Structure 1
Amino acid sequence: MPIFGQTKKLLYPAYQDTKLSFEQRADDLLKRLTLEEKVSLMQDVSQPVERLGIKTYNWWNEALHGVARSGIATVFPQPIGMAASFDADGVWQVFNAVSDEARAKHNYYSSRGEYGRYQGLTMWTPTINIYRDPRWGRGIETYGEDPYLTSIMGVAAVQGLQGPDGEKYDKLHACAKHFAVHSGPEWNRHSFDAKNIKRRDLWETYLPAFEALVTEGNVKEIMCAYNRFEGEPCCGSDQLLLQILREKWGFNGIVVADCGAIRDFYDKNAHATHPDAAAASTDGVLSGTDLDCGSSYKALVEAVKTGQIIEEAIDVSVKRLLLARFQLGEMDSNEHVSWSKIPYEVVASASHDSLALDMARKSMTLLLNKNNILPLKSGNLTVAVVGPNANDSIMQWGNYNGTPARTITILEGIRAALGDNDRLIYEPGTGLVENTLMESAFHLCRTDQGRGFRANYWNNMDRKGSPDVSAQYTTPFNFSTTGATVFAPGIGLTDFTATYHTIFTPERSGEVFFDFYVNGTINLSVDGEQVKGTRANHGSRKMSHSMKVEAGKPYAIQIDFDYNRGDAQLVFDFGYKKEIDIAQSVAKVKEADMVIFVGGVSPSLEGEEMGVDLPGFRNGDRTDIELPSVQRAFIKALKDAGKDVVLVNCSGSPIGLEPEVQHCEAILQAWYPGQSGGRAVADVLFGTYNPSGRLPVTFYKNTAQLPDFENYDMTGRTYRYMAESPLFPFGYGLSYSSFQYGKPQLERDTFAVGDDVQLRIPLTNSGRYDGDEIVQVYLRKKGDVEGPLKTLRAVQRIPVSAGDTVEATFTLSGRQLDWWDEESLSVGAVAGEYELMVGSSSRDQDLQIIKLKIID
C-alpha cells in the first residue's frame, strides 16, 4: 500500500536509463560483464548476454553503392563510377538514400527477431584506398587515384550514411577501409609487406583520405588492412593505429580487423609473425584493434589467464563497442529511436530509382567523339548492338552489391531510345575474354521424371531425412533468394541444401563446359566422383569445369548446393563452347548505319581475391590493362568492314584503348553503372543527356607505362607523378557543349600562412547544348622537384545554359593549401611560391596558371 506523500521509484540499472549519457550507460554496463562475456562481444558475430538484456549483434554489413547482400535494394553505380561525377553533393544524396534503405531493412529484420549478417547498422564502407595502380582488382570499389577527390567523396558517403549531427541516435555507422597502405596485389595480400614507404608518399598520398574521414567526416569505424606495413600486420601496427590514428588524429571510434586478418598474424601460410591466436589477439587489442571479424579473439580469455594481457586493456575495446551500440539505439526500444520509423517502402522506391539514374548519367564519361558523331539522330536509323556486355544486367551491378527490383540493360536502354522508324540488330558476337560462346546441352539431359534435372531439397544443412521438396527443371538454373524468393516452394530462405541430378547423353564427342555463378557451397560430381567444388564467402562467384565426352555414352551428373550466408544464388548451364566467327557476326550487321560495341570487362573478372585465372587476369587483379584481344579483333574487323563503331566500355579499371582510339569513332566509358545504367548510356548516346563525367583515374596507353605493381613508391604513378603522356588524363571527359574559360583572378597574389584564398573564373558555354562543366583547380609548389607535378585541391560541377556565362568561385583554405615540409617531414601550411592551375582536366593544355605566394 503506497505511503502518502511518497513517489514510487522505478528501480532499474543505469545502463538502461535513457536519460543518462551513452558514456555513463556504457561504463555501467561494462562493469557488469564477465571476462568471457566481454570477449564474446569483441567478435563480428557478437553473442547475446541475456542476463543483461544484450541481444546478439552481427557487425558485418555492406553498403558500397547500395545496401548489399540483403535482398532487393537500389543499386547505384560502382564507386569508381560515382567518382567520375566529381559531385560530392550527389554522393551524399546517394548515401542518404542508402541509409534510409539500410535502416528500413534493419527495422524489418529486428521486428522478426533476426540479427544476422547483412542485417545490422554498421556498414563496412566506404573503401578509400588510393587507386595507385590500374591492375588492382579492388580499385573498382574506390573513388580513384587522387587523395583530394577521394577525401571529399568519402566524407560525403560517411555523412550520408551516419545521418545529420544533432540527433540523439546515429542513423548508421560507416567504416573507412582499408587502413592504410593497401592497394593490391590481391593474390598475396595476406602475406605482403608494404615496406620502405617514403614518408612523403605516406602522408601526401596514402593517409589524407583517412585523416579527412576521421577529422571532417567523424567516421565511427576504421577497418585495418590485411597486409603488413613496415613489417607489422596493419591490424597490429602501433605506428598506424596508435601513433597516427588514435594519438595524432584523436580517433576514439572502433577499429575492426578485416575478416581473418588477426588469423593472418599466426597462419603459417600468411604473415606468420606470431606463434598463436592468443599472442596475435593480444597484439591486436594492445595496438587498438577492437573487433575481430573472425574467431581469433576467443583466445583473449586464455591470454588474460596466462598474463599476456590484462583485463583492463580489453575493457578499453569493449567500452568502444558498447558505446557504438548505444549511439545507434540498438540497446534501446524502437519508441526512443526516430530512425526506426523509416518505412520499408523506401527500399527500391521510385525516388531512389530516379537518383540511381541521375548518378549513372553523371558518371558517363565521353572519351572520344570524332567529327561529333554523337549524339546519334534517330529516324530511319539502323543500329547494331554487339558485344559481351550489351545484355548483361549482373555486370552493371558491380561488386558488393544488392539486387535491384529491375535492371535496364544497355541493350534495353538503346532499344527504348529508338524511334518507330528505326531498326535494331542485336548480335552478341563474342564473350569477354574467350574465343568461344556457350551452346547449351541442357536439353540432352533426362531423369526418370523426364527431360532436365531432378532436384531434391531439404530444410536442414545435412540432408537429413527424406527430401522436403522435389522438383523437375527443364531449363538452365537461375535461382536466388534475393527479395525473399525461395529456390522452391516450401523451402526456406536460409539453412537449406539441395541436390540436382540427371543423366546426360551427348549427341557428339568433344569437350563440355560447366559454368556456375554461385553464392553458397557447390560441388559437382560426375559418375559418382566429385570433380570440382567451391565455397563463396564474399558474395557470388564463378566456378567452371570442363571434361571430355563421347557421343552416346551416358554420364551421371550431380550438383550439391549448400546454403552459406546472405542471399543464396545458383546460376548454372553447361554445354559445348563453339568458336566465335567474327566474319559471320560482322556480316549480320552489314546493314547497320552505326555499330555500338558494348565491351570491356566485368566484376566477374576484376574484384576481391576472386580465384580468376584467365589471360590478363589473376585472382581478381589484372596482369595487363589491354582490352581483351578477342574484343579488340572484333572491333578491328568492324572497322575494316567500313562500319562506324561506338565503343561503350564497361569496366571498373582503366583499360588500355590505344588501338580502339584508331578504330572507333566514339568511346563512352560507362563503368558499372547500376540498375539504371542502360537508360543512362542511351540518354548520352542519343543526346537526351549531355555527358559530364570526368576520369577519376588515369587511362594509360598500355602496361609498359606502369611501374612494378608491388612497388608502393609513387614515382611515375598517377597523374600526380607521371612524366609520360597517358592515353586519357585524370579529370578528362568530353561534353556536347563547348566551355570557354576566362582569365582566373585572385583578390591578390600574396597571402599569409593560414589565409583563405579567393579564386574566380568566368565560364562560358559557347555550344548549342545546356551542360555541366567540371571546373578543376590544381596546386603545385615551384622548385619542389620531388613533389607532385600537380595535385587536385578544389572542384565544382557547374551547370551552364547554352550561350550563358557564369562565374565559378572558390575559397581555398586549410588542407587545400597544405604542402609537404621537408624540414619537419610533415604536411602543413608552408610558405613559398605556388601555382594554381585552373581548367577542365589535369592535362597541361587544358589548364591556365596563376601565381600565388604564401608568406609566414
Structure 2
Amino acid sequence: MYINRQSIYKGFTAFMVVTASFAQNVDFSFQNNHLPIDKRAEILVSQMTIEEKINQLKNGAAAIPRLKVPDYDWWNEALHGIGRNGKATIFPQAIALGATFDPQLAERVASAISTEARAKYAISQKNGNHSKYAGLTFWTPNINIFRDPRWGRGQETYGEDPLLTSRIGVAFVKGLQGNDPKYLKSAACAKHFAVHSGPENIRHEFNAEPNKQDLYETYLPAFEALVKEAKVEGVMAAYNAVYGKPACASDFLLKETLRDKWKFDGYVTSDCGAVSGVYNKLKYVKTAVEAAAVALNSGTNLECGTTYSQLKKAIDQGLITEKMIHDRTVQLFKTRFRLGMFDEKGTDNPYLNFGIEKIHSPEHIALSKEVALKSIVLLKNKNNILPLSKDIKIPYVTGPFANSNDMLMGSYYGVTSGMVTILEGVADVVSPSASLNYRSGVLPFHKNINPKNWAPFEAGESDVTICVVGLTADREGEEVDAIAAENVGDKVDLKLPQSQIDYVKEIASKIKGKPLVLVIASGSPVSLEGIEELCDAIVQIWYPGEQGGNAVADILFGNSSPSGHLPITFPKNVAQLPAYEDYSMKGRTYKYMTEEPMYPFGFGLTYSKTEFRNLKLSTSNLKEKQTLTVTVEVANTGNYDIDEVVQLYVNPMELSGGIPLKSLKAFERISLKKGEKKSINFKLTPNNLKVVNEQGQSVWRNGNYQLVVGNASPGALSTRLGAATPQTAILQLK
C-alpha cells in the first residue's frame, strides 16, 4: 500500500496551525480574580463546545487542555473527618456531634476538617492526583431528620429535632466553607434533599408524600437554614420521589423551593445513580435520554453517575436546549471559582498555605477527644457508682468492642494510626498497681464459636466489670455498606445482638454483687429491655472517633464529667414505633410520641447536681410582633465541675390541628464550676413562636403555652431518671 507521506505531513501541519490559532484566541481573562465570579464563569464556559460542557456536568469532569481546565472529580466526603482519602483525623460520628448540643464545637470541628482538606488538596494537586475524594467539594453534611431509629444512616445525622439539626448543620457548613467574603475554604453540600430517611432497601423506589404540615415543620427547616443562613454551596437531591416526582427531577423542590423561594445560588448534584433511577427505578420516564433531560431541566447541575452522557441526544430530540446546558455548567464553575481553582498566582486566597503538618495534627487529635468527651451520655448511675477510682485493684474490661478499632469509626471514615480502643484508654488511666484483666467474651454479631473465650468467672473476681457492647457500621449503615443483606443497612429491631444480650446476662449472674458498667457503642438507639436492670451504670458513647478510648476512660474514671445529651429518643422497642415506611410524623420523635420511651430526647446525667431557679419572662402576654426574653438561673450544687445543656421547650396547652406536643425552641451549652451559678437569657422572636398549620403555613396561634426550661425534654420520665426539676411558666399569645 502506497503512503503519501508528504500529504500527511501537510495535513498535520495545517492541523497544528489551526489548533495553535484556536489556542491563541482563547480569552484567559477568566483567570483574573478581580473580575466578578459570574463574569469569570461566563467567559470560561462560553469558550467550550457543547460536548465539553456536557463533560463538565458529571462528577468526574473531564480536562479541557486548551482552556487550561484540569480534570476534577466533585465526589468527596467529610462527614466526621476527611473520608476515603488516606490519613486524616477521625472525629466522632455525626450523631455524637449532635449529642454535644454545641454549635460552636461543630464549627471548630468542620474548620479543622477543611484545614486538613486544603492541605491534602495542595499535596494531591502537586502530585497530579485529581481522583475521587481528592477535591474540595464535600458532600456533607447529612441533615435529614432521624425520624425512625431503625434507619441505618441515622448515625450520619444530628438527630431527630429540626432546631438542633439546623443549628449544628449551619455551624458545620460555616466551618467547612470558612468566613472569607470572596473564597470558599471548601464547599459543603446539604443532603439528601428531601424527605429522605429510609428504608434503605427501597430508597431508590419509594415515593414520600408527607402532609404539608410535616414537610414544613420537620423535613425542610434544616435545609432552609443551611441555604439562607450558612449559604451552603451545594445541595444533593435524594434518590426517592417526593409527591410523585424524583427528587433530582422535581420542579417543586429544585425550582420553586430551592431557587425561587430560598434564593439558592449554589450547585445541585444528584445522589450517585439517582438520575438513572428516574427511569429504571422510579419509572418516571421511559428512557435514559428522558431521565437526563428532566433532571437537567429541573435544576440538577451535576450528575453523580453516567446518564448525563445522553444529554447530546436530548438536545437532538428537542428535550433540552443548549442554553440550558450552558447555564447549568456556568453554575458549576462558579463553585470552582469560589474555591480559587482558576486564579492567577499571587492571589489573596487565605486558604493556600496549609501544609502537611496540618493533617492529623496534635491540635486536631485533641479536638477529636474533646468532641468525644462532650458527646458521651450517662444514662444510668445507680448509687453513683461512677466515677470509678483510678486505684481500683481488679478492674475487668470485656465485651466484643472493648478492644475494637472498627467500633470507633462509624461510616464514611478516614485512616489513621492513632486509634485508641477503650481497653487501651482504661489501661492508661488506672493505677499501674491494678490487676487489669481483659477478654472479649463474645463475638459481636454471631453466636460465640469459642466457648473458652467466655469469662464470667473473672467478672466475679473483679472489683468492677466494664462491658463494652453495641453495633458498628457493618451492622447499621448505608445500603451498599451493610454486611447483613437481609437488613440492607437498617436495623430490624432495636435490641443488641442476642449473643451480646446473653453475655451481659451471664456476667450479671456471676459478679456476686460487684458493679457492672455497660458501655454502649452505636449510631442509633439501642433497646435495653431485659438487661437495663442488671447494670449499675450505662454509658452511651456512639461511634466516638480515634480518641474514643481515652475519652471513655476519662469519663469512667472521673477526669471529666459526662455532658452529652440524647439527640434522639430511645424507645423501649419497635412496638412503640409507627410503620417504618410511613413518613407521617405522628407518634414519632419526642415532639409527637405519646408512649413513654426508655430514655427521652435531651436527657443526660452528670456527676454533679444541677438546679434551675427563678424563671422569668419579659411578659406573660405576648403580641405577634414582640420578642420574648426568657431568663433562668442555673446552679451547680454538686461536687464536680460540669458542662450542662440548658434546654427551652414550648408546649401548647390546647392541642389541635396536628401541632407538636412539645418543641425545643432554644438551647445553650454552658460550663459550671462546682458551686457556681449563671443567669441564662434566651430571646424568642415571633417566628420562633409560630406554629406550622395543616396547610404548611407558619402562623401565629393565639392561646396558652407552657414554657419549660431544664436539662431534658419535659416529662415525668426525665425527672424519674434523674434530670433536674425544670422551671415552668405560662405564656399567653394574643
Task: Give the equivalent residue in structure 2 for 1:192.
Answer: 206
1:91 and 1:156 in contact (8 A); partners too: yes
Aligned mates of 2:400, 2:345 — CA distance in 1: 48
Amino acid in structure 2 at the alignment position of 1:596: I
Task: Give the equivalent residue in structure 2 for 1:572.
Answer: none
Task: Using the TM superposition, give the Cα deviation of residue 783 of structure 1 relative to its aligned residue in structure 2, in angstroms.
Answer: 2.0
SS in 2 for 1:723: coil
Whether 2:565 is the aligned partner of 1:677: answer no
1:763 and 1:808 in contact (8 A); partners too: yes
Whether 2:174 is the aligned partner of 1:159: answer yes
SS in 2 for 1:98: helix
Aligned mates of 2:550, 2:60 — CA distance in 1: 40
Whether 2:577 is the aligned partner of 1:706: answer yes
Task: Give the equivalent residue in structure 1 for 2:319.
Answer: 308
Task: Give the equivalent residue in structure 2 for 1:239.
Answer: 252
SS in 2 for 1:843: coil
Task: Give the equivalent residue in structure 2 for 1:852.
Answer: 731
2:470 and 2:520 in contact (8 A); partners too: yes
Match of 2:106 among 74, 91, 100: 91
Match of 2:195 among 157, 167, 181: 181
Task: Give the equivalent residue in structure 2 for 1:342.
Answer: 354
Whether 2:606 is the aligned partner of 1:591: answer no
Cα 1:612/1:31, change in 2 over 3 Å: closer
Match of 1:819 among 676, 691, 701: 691
Task: Give the equivalent residue in structure 2 for 1:478.
Answer: none
1:348 and 1:405 in contact (8 A); partners too: no
Whether 2:655 is the aligned partner of 1:776: answer no
Amino acid in structure 2 at the alignment position of 1:791: S
Task: Using the TM superposition, give the Cα deviation of residue 651 of structure 1 relative to its aligned residue in structure 2, in angstroms.
Answer: 0.2
Task: Give the equivalent residue in structure 1 for 2:41.
Answer: 26
1:425 and 1:589 in contact (8 A); partners too: no
Task: Using the TM superposition, give the Cα deviation of residue 233 of structure 1 relative to its aligned residue in structure 2, in angstroms.
Answer: 0.9
Aligned mates of 1:153, 1:366 — CA distance in 2: 21
Task: Using the TM superposition, give the Cα deviation of residue 836 of structure 1 relative to its aligned residue in structure 2, in angstroms.
Answer: 1.7
Aligned mates of 1:611, 1:318 — CA distance in 2: 32
Aligned mates of 1:814, 1:29 — CA distance in 2: 46
Task: Using the TM superposition, give the Cα deviation of residue 143 of structure 1 relative to its aligned residue in structure 2, in angstroms.
Answer: 0.2
Aligned mates of 2:731, 2:227 — CA distance in 1: 30
Aligned mates of 1:612, 1:579 — CA distance in 2: 25
Aligned mates of 1:611, 1:118 — CA distance in 2: 17
Task: Give the equivalent residue in structure 2 for 1:47.
Answer: 62
SS in 2 for 1:187: helix
Task: Give the equivalent residue in structure 1 for 2:557.
Answer: 686
Task: Give the equivalent residue in structure 1 for 2:474.
Answer: 604
1:635 and 1:645 in contact (8 A); partners too: no
Aligned mates of 2:683, 2:180 — CA distance in 1: 24
Amino acid in structure 1 at the alignment position of 2:689: L
Task: Give the equivalent residue in structure 1 for 2:332.
Answer: 321
Aligned mates of 1:129, 1:18 — CA distance in 2: 36
2:648 and 2:710 in contact (8 A); partners too: yes
1:74 and 1:405 in contact (8 A); partners too: no
Equivalences for residues 204-243 of structure 1 within 5 A:
204-243=217-256
| TM-score, with length taken from structure 1 | 0.80
1:135 and 1:624 in contact (8 A); partners too: yes
Match of 2:309 among 283, 292, 298: 298
Which one is further off, 808-817 or 641-650?
Answer: 808-817
Task: Give the equivalent residue in structure 2 for 1:456.
Answer: none
Task: Give the equivalent residue in structure 2 for 1:569.
Answer: none
Gaps of 5+ in 1: 1-9, 437-577
Task: Give the equivalent residue in structure 1 for 2:146.
Answer: 131
Task: Give the equivalent residue in structure 1 for 2:492.
Answer: 623
Amino acid in structure 1 at the alignment position of 2:493: D
Aligned mates of 1:254, 1:355 — CA distance in 2: 31
| TM-score, with length taken from structure 2 | 0.93
Aligned residues: 698
After superposition, give the CA deviation of every residue in 1:293-314 in whole Å (9 maximum; x if it has no partner): 0111111111111211111122
Task: Give the equivalent residue in structure 2 for 1:72.
Answer: 87
Whether 2:125 is the aligned partner of 1:122: answer no
Aligned mates of 1:828, 1:49 — CA distance in 2: 52
Amino acid in structure 1 at the alignment position of 2:674: A
Task: Using the TM superposition, give the Cα deviation of residue 634 of structure 1 relative to its aligned residue in structure 2, in angstroms.
Answer: 1.0
Aligned mates of 1:137, 1:754 — CA distance in 2: 42
Match of 1:56 among 50, 66, 71: 71
Task: Give the equivalent residue in structure 2 for 1:15.
Answer: 30
Aligned mates of 2:451, 2:605 — CA distance in 1: 34
Match of 1:332 among 327, 339, 343: 343
SS in 1 for 2:401: coil
2:145 and 2:165 in contact (8 A); partners too: yes
Task: Using the TM superposition, give the Cα deviation of residue 395 of structure 1 relative to its aligned residue in structure 2, in angstroms.
Answer: 1.6
Amino acid in structure 2 at the alignment position of 1:634: Y
Task: Using the TM superposition, give the Cα deviation of residue 723 of structure 1 relative to its aligned residue in structure 2, in angstroms.
Answer: 0.4
Task: Using the TM superposition, give the Cα deviation of residue 30 of structure 1 relative to its aligned residue in structure 2, in angstroms.
Answer: 2.2
1:798 and 1:808 in contact (8 A); partners too: no
Aligned mates of 1:92, 1:828 — CA distance in 2: 32
SS in 1 for 2:252: helix
Aligned mates of 1:149, 1:26 — CA distance in 2: 36
Task: Give the equivalent residue in structure 2 for 1:561.
Answer: none
1:334 and 1:340 in contact (8 A); partners too: no
Match of 2:265 among 249, 252, 264: 252
2:216 and 2:696 in contact (8 A); partners too: no
Cα 1:829/1:46, change in 2 over 3 Å: farther
After superposition, give the CA deviation of every residue in 1:76-99 in whole Å (9 maximum; x if it has no partner): 000001111000100011001111
2:90 and 2:368 in contact (8 A); partners too: yes
2:368 and 2:545 in contact (8 A); partners too: yes
Aligned mates of 2:415, 2:686 — CA distance in 1: 41
Match of 1:108 among 98, 110, 123: 123
Cα 1:387/1:11, change in 2 over 3 Å: closer
Match of 2:678 among 778, 803, 806: 806
After superposition, give the CA deviation of every residue in 1:578-617 in whole Å (9 maximum; x if it has no partner): 34468x52123331111100001111111000464649x6
SS in 2 for 1:589: helix
Amino acid in structure 1 at the alignment position of 2:574: T
Amino acid in structure 2 at the alignment position of 1:688: N
SS in 2 for 1:837: strand
After superposition, give the CA deviation of every residue in 1:605-660 in whole Å (9 maximum; x if it has no partner): 11000464649x60110000011111111111111112421000000010001222
After superposition, give the CA deviation of every residue in 1:726-746 in whole Å (9 maximum; x if it has no partner): 000000010001001103101
SS in 1 for 2:138: coil
Task: Using the TM superposition, give the Cα deviation of residue 830 of structure 1 relative to its aligned residue in structure 2, in angstroms.
Answer: 4.5
Aligned mates of 2:700, 2:360 — CA distance in 1: 46
Aligned mates of 2:53, 2:285 — CA distance in 1: 23
1:435 and 1:579 in contact (8 A); partners too: no
1:73 and 1:405 in contact (8 A); partners too: no
Match of 2:380 among 368, 371, 394: 368
Task: Give the equivalent residue in structure 2 for 1:491.
Answer: none
SS in 2 for 1:389: coil
Aligned mates of 1:288, 1:222 — CA distance in 2: 11
Equivalences for residues 372-411 of structure 1 within 5 A:
372-411=384-423
Task: Give the equivalent residue in structure 2 for 1:556.
Answer: none
1:85 and 1:692 in contact (8 A); partners too: yes
Task: Give the equivalent residue in structure 1 for 2:667.
Answer: 795
SS in 2 for 1:214: helix
Question: How high is the sequence identity, in percent, across the aligned residues?
Answer: 42
User: Which of the pair is proportionally richer in strand?
Assistant: 1
SS in 1 for 2:352: helix
2:235 and 2:269 in contact (8 A); partners too: yes
Task: Give the equivalent residue in structure 2 for 1:454.
Answer: none
After superposition, give the CA deviation of every residue in 1:637-692 in whole Å (9 maximum; x if it has no partner): 11111242100000001000122221100000000000100000000000000001
Q: Runs in 1 of length 4+ with deviation above 6 angstroms?
A: none
Which one is further off, 691-700 or 630-639?
Answer: 630-639
Task: Using the TM superposition, give the Cα deviation of residue 154 of structure 1 relative to its aligned residue in structure 2, in angstroms.
Answer: 0.4
Task: Give the equivalent residue in structure 1 for 2:18.
Answer: none
Task: Give the equivalent residue in structure 1 for 2:434.
Answer: 422
Aligned mates of 1:672, 1:841 — CA distance in 2: 22
Aligned mates of 1:29, 1:421 — CA distance in 2: 69
Aligned mates of 2:546, 2:690 — CA distance in 1: 40
